[in-house]
Structure 1
């Protein structure tokens, strides 16, 4: 269904005939609500599943992303959607970048959240450009993060709607190498979802900015990857909110995107010699940073799934659905 709010028109996937406590699923970067299709259908009775396409993804309006607001363009869209549909208090489930979006929503609207589930979420200090468990900026301008860190051939193939596997930079090859550890059914369905991403400076990846410091890229002011840069996105003060709904953190042990040694982190690639000229900048310990922030928060549980990459809900659906249903039904 399409829902128009003062900010934009959003596409929301639902399961016909389902009523009960609302559960809103938020997808990650370069994907859409389609990635939640099977998880939504498997939710037990008494829960009403909904999944939204974020701005610039799926069938939602391709409104520009103001990266200087971090994830707030996305989370403010959610807030209007929740208000228009009368969903609060609700359960939120966020995957990857969507984990950052729901954390921002929790930070700004804690009383509206009944429970939170994080699935391989982006670090509370964003993606790239930080070091240590407390997210210390490697450089004040966030060098090492932002739109300039993405492979331009991947962006070009995404824009062209490339469904092939002829190059390691094709969306299908990236899905196989990074989204999942092992093959999953209905791969074409998920590749088509990836290809709904709006490509450009206002959306994905955003505007690239050069830097005098290695690796010579810094966050710009527009677009998705710059919104996730540590100079713009930072939600390390969750322990200060009240009330504190329970958080379930599910992650794959073999995640290639969000990890303490991510091959998508230029600092880690520099340490490996893949990106030359590194002055010794340490990799961003993304998982360690998330754990440190949640330890301060207090009311959370971490579950690690073995033989699993970035997408537990696709790779181990039965176990993921069991964990999620238990968390939702136990929430006060």
Structure 2
């Protein structure tokens, strides 16, 4: 596993876990604002950046990713002699929650930035994560935009096609109109480092009799977040609960209660034909689900705070790096 490190080995340990279709380089705009005295480690998850594409067993949820990162978490805790602050972005927030489930004693604080819902991505209808259909139709590898997958595999850097990686990054990785400036090529590089295929991104799919006609397969990235394989709400029952800081933007179009990557929401908007209606297939309340789980986490002896940035999209650490860094300094300092 390729790991980018910063700082001194004796400093407070911070583990940064990137999200889907990115890599450790996606943290660079934030790292510039963090103290040089910290011990920062940012791994490339398997199939991203410079780490090998080992394939992903989606039936384990996000555990393949979490198991890869666990030795790094242990090493950071042991070399510093203190618990680690773990920061996870988007899918990386789910990996961070899985690490918390598996290794709570090594985590001193959890920062979830625009995290995937504890009940996964797509295919659930309410705050308890109830499946919309028995086969979790509408989630998994078959839910990806095929044009985006094709252009991602081709490492397209243009803007000619609507679904090009650059256009997707500009439209959805931050709030509309955000200027990535000099970081745009670096951030696009992280997207284009994604290994594409049925064993990696997006994964495989299966036909379904339920709308929209596709259900999760068993391999690859998007299937790891299908509610058929992923349920992270068990953090509520942990006997040891580090404080959680949840950071999100109010303009997030990827992880929201009306996500433009949720087929049920696209059906509601008339962009995917045949939507059976709100009663049969409502959009997933992603933000509401996360809040409900964290509220139960607090009721059971933990604590959390929710920080919402106005006018910010899916990447607060890039859109508001100085403010994000200030919050992280508070977490590490506590």
After TM superposition, the score normalised by the length of structure 1 is 0.94
Q: Is the 8 A contact 1:43 1:49 kept in 2?
A: no
Number of the residue aligned with 2:25 = 34
Q: Which residue of 2 aligns with 1:262?
A: 259
**1:79 alignment counterpart:** 70
Please state if 1:115 is matched with 2:109: yes
Q: Which residue of 2 aligns with 1:326?
A: 330
Equivalent runs, 1:149-168 vs 2, <5 Å: 149-168=143-162
**In structure 2, C-alpha distance between the alignment counterparts of 1:100 and 1:120, rounded to whole Å:** 10
Cα drift, residue 84 of structure 1:
4.8
Trace 1:1-332 onto structure 2 (pairs within 5 A): 10-17=1-8, 19-44=10-35, 46-84=37-75, 86=78, 89-181=83-175, 182-185=178-181, 186-280=183-277, 281-298=281-298, 299-330=303-334
Asked if 1 retains the 8 angstrom alpha-carbon contact of 2:8 and 2:38, the reply is no
1:169-221, Cα deviation, whole Å (9 max, x unpaired):
00000000000111122201100110000000110000121101100110100
Deviation at 1:240, TM superposition (A): 0.5
What SS class does the counterpart of residue 131 from structure 1 fall into? coil
Distance 1:249 1:179 in 2: 18
**CA–CA distance in structure 1, aligned partners of residues 185 and 32 of structure 2:** 19
Q: CA deviation at 1:37?
A: 1.4
Q: Which runs of 5+ in 2 are unaligned?
A: none
1:7 corresponds to which residue? none
How many correspondences in the alignment? 321
Show CA shifts across 1:271-296 (max 9, x none): 11111111111000000000000000
Cα distance per residue 1:154-177 (max 9 Å; x no partner): 001000010111111000000000
Q: Post-superposition shift, 1:89?
A: 2.2
CA distance in 1, matches of 2:9, 2:164: 37
Once superposed, which parts of structure 1, at least 4 consecutive aligned residues long, lie more than 4 Å away? Answer: none
Report the Cα distance in structure 1 between the residues aligned to 2:7 and 2:238, rounded to whole angstroms: 35
Contact 1:128–1:145 (8 Å) recurs in 2: yes
Cα distance per residue 1:42-78 (max 9 Å; x no partner):
2225421110100110011111100000000001111
Instruction: Tell me which residue corresponds to 1:4.
Output: none
1:248 deviates by 0.4
Q: Secondary structure at the match of 2:20?
A: coil
1: CA distance, partners of 2:86 / 2:329: 12
Per-residue deviation, 1:302: 0.2
Hey, what's the Cα distance between the residues in 1 that align with 2:215 and 2:27?
32
CA displacement at 1:41 relative to structure 2? 3.2
Tell me, in whole angstroms, the C-alpha distance in 2 between the residues paired with 1:269 and 1:93: 30
* Pairwise CA distance, 1:256: 0.5
